Amino acid sequence: SPVICIAFHPGGKIFVTGSHDNTARLWDAGERREIAKLQGHIDWVTSVAFSPEGSTLVTADWDGKIILWDLQEGRLRSQLSGHGGIVGALAFSPDERSLASASDDRSVRIWRAGDDPLSLASPLLATIPAHPDQVISVTFSPDGTLLATGGADRTVRIWRTLDRTLLQTLSGHGGAVECLAFSPAGDVLAVGSRGRSLRLWAVRGWRLLHTIDGHGGAVECLAFSPDGSLIASGAADHVTRIWQVADGALRRMLAGHNGPVAGVSFCPSGARVATLGEDDRLLIWDVADGMEVAALRPLSGRVTGLAFSPDGDWLAVGGGDGAATIYNLYEATAPLSQHIDHRGAVGSLAFAEDGARLITAAGDRSVRAYRLSSAECVILLQTHGSAQGATIAPGGRLLASSDGENTVQIWQLGERGGQFWRVLRGLRSRPRLLCFSPRADLLAVALDDGTMQIWRLEALAAEQVGPQVTIAGIAGRVRSIAFRNDGSILATGSDSGQVQLWRTGDGALHTLLAGSGPAVVGLAFAPDGRSLAGGDADGQLRIWAVPGTSRGKFGSRRRESEQTTGIIGHAGAVEHLAYNPTGDLLASGASDGTVRLWRITVG
């Protein structure tokens, strides 16, 4: 059932979600599995919060009912009622003696939380007519002396908790105030609004420190790092951003969700941040590195190819709708062009060696060249055999395609046209996948019978017959292949979930990468050959350290490699991967039409 709200336990090991199915669920954050389902509401659970010590959980619903749960004993402790509208926000005081609830009925109610409310004549301590419109957010200061409330009237109001006196009204926000957070030291108040901005206020004197614009949608949630130096803001644009509190500078972009970000929290050490989206996915991010830096505008169809320009400034994206789009990575949200329009899915694309042209091959059996400087588009070939399995060599000088039979045709591509060059005959079964090596001196052909053939183009030029190497023993049907940059190693990904590395010189198995599970449908080696990225059918991206490459060369054979990173960032199969020339940026494209860019630490 769709998630409405989230809260992380102070210890960071569990979190709670509230959903449309009238339940709250506790989850193990490490294993991402459900550990308890709390039932007691008769309407949507709209807000959840843990007490500072983590022993009590409070949940509230659409009907205005509030329930306190004793987590140590695993039971419903008490119920609170009195609001005349949706309770959209909850907050415990630092000493856990009070609970604040914010509602659409324009009020904030303060409840006694330290004792069992059922043992008292009235658990309600006070009702504050907080705003002239619905109250959306509420939070206590770390020392408990202040209460901040945010409303649909676009203001934040600061109250003294001792006597509920209004001390200050902060205005000027561009929309309803969705979320509030005090820094751990209590000296800064962060305000997120539907106006797509984040404002940081100095508590002393209530001076505006920074107005931070950068989100493409309402700011839905906030969290300070434990040391107070960073603040994370999640938004309706599906992106979480991490900002430096001192100067308001952007530190990180985490763009892995396919829906608004509903919750965000730093782990106790501050090294990682967790985000939960309305896509019901929890993502754990490393704050220091391995972060996602951009999410390009989704395509109207699946992503069918990716290619970086030789200088790394441009990224070309092929689409299932027949369009090839070129992005300037310095302005990644705005495409340079979408004028390379085929009548079938773009099956392969590559930049010319000088980076001046993009060459594309598509399901309409044509090959086109697009010049970036003039937008001139030239048809190099009207037909190149079957639409299945076409691939362009790096540098754009060669094209290989299968004709649907047991042959592969190779074409030479020039500035203004192309011509047939060679044909690979006598294949034992139908070709499924084709892949050129980075130097365009080798061609790998995956066959339906489960074998892989490696052809040397030098031998083809000399009209030698037959492949130079045949690889057998691949675990499962091959779904993806990739060469190491020097051509010495070929990686295969299969339906079994395994990735195998093969020596291209003799076809022997070099390394079996650990792992089983979803089919591995995309592969790419880093430029230095020290790591391999793989995408699976479930939308997960993995990066493995390749054994024996600490000096750029393979050492002795090992059975397994170490998976260094695992990231969930797509809602569809990650079928295409590409590193930029320096290896510090990885692009991933998926069947859900999204392309994401990930910052990679090199060295």
If asked whether residues 182 and 283 sit together in one domain, one would say yes
Provide the pLDDT for residue 379.
Answer: 86
Tell me, yes or no, whether 358 lies in a domain: yes
Provide the pLDDT for residue 554.
Answer: 27
Cα separation values, 67 from 44, 113, 359, 380, Å: 13, 11, 61, 69
If asked whether residues 370 and 276 sit together in one domain, one would say no
If asked whether residues 137 and 279 sit together in one domain, one would say yes
Which residues are CB-contacts of 356 (< 8 A; sequence separation ≥ 6)? 371, 372, 373
If asked whether residues 278 and 355 sit together in one domain, one would say no
Tell me, yes or no, whether 338 lies in a domain: no
Provide the pLDDT for residue 291.
Answer: 52
Where a domain ends, among 272, 288, 304?
288
Taking 3-state DSSP, the helix, strand and coil percentages for the chain, each rounded to the nearest 5, stand at 0, 50, 45
Where a domain ends, among 251, 268, 288?
288
The domain that contains 418 carries what CATH number? 2.130.10.10
Tell me, yes or no, whether 532 lies in a domain: yes
If asked whether residues 450 and 567 sit together in one domain, one would say yes
Tell me, yes or no, whether 307 lies in a domain: no
Where a domain ends, among 245, 270, 288?
288
If asked whether residues 261 and 371 sit together in one domain, one would say no
If asked whether residues 275 and 421 sit together in one domain, one would say no
Q: For residues 456-470, b (16+ Cβ closer than 10 Å) or e, as one string?
A: bbeebeeeeeebbbe
Tell me, yes or no, whether 310 lies in a domain: no
What SS3 class is residue 457?
Answer: helix
If asked whether residues 394 and 493 sit together in one domain, one would say yes
If asked whether residues 276 and 389 sit together in one domain, one would say no
Low-confidence ranges of the chain (pLDDT < 50): 117-121, 290, 332-334, 338, 387, 550-565
If asked whether residues 374 and 249 sit together in one domain, one would say no
If asked whether residues 366 and 447 sit together in one domain, one would say yes
Tell me, yes or no, whether 9 lies in a domain: no
If asked whether residues 362 and 455 sit together in one domain, one would say yes
Tell me, yes or no, whether 37 lies in a domain: no
Report the number of distinct structural domains present in the chain: 2
**Domain range spanning residue 183?**
130-288
Tell me, yes or no, whether 361 lies in a domain: yes
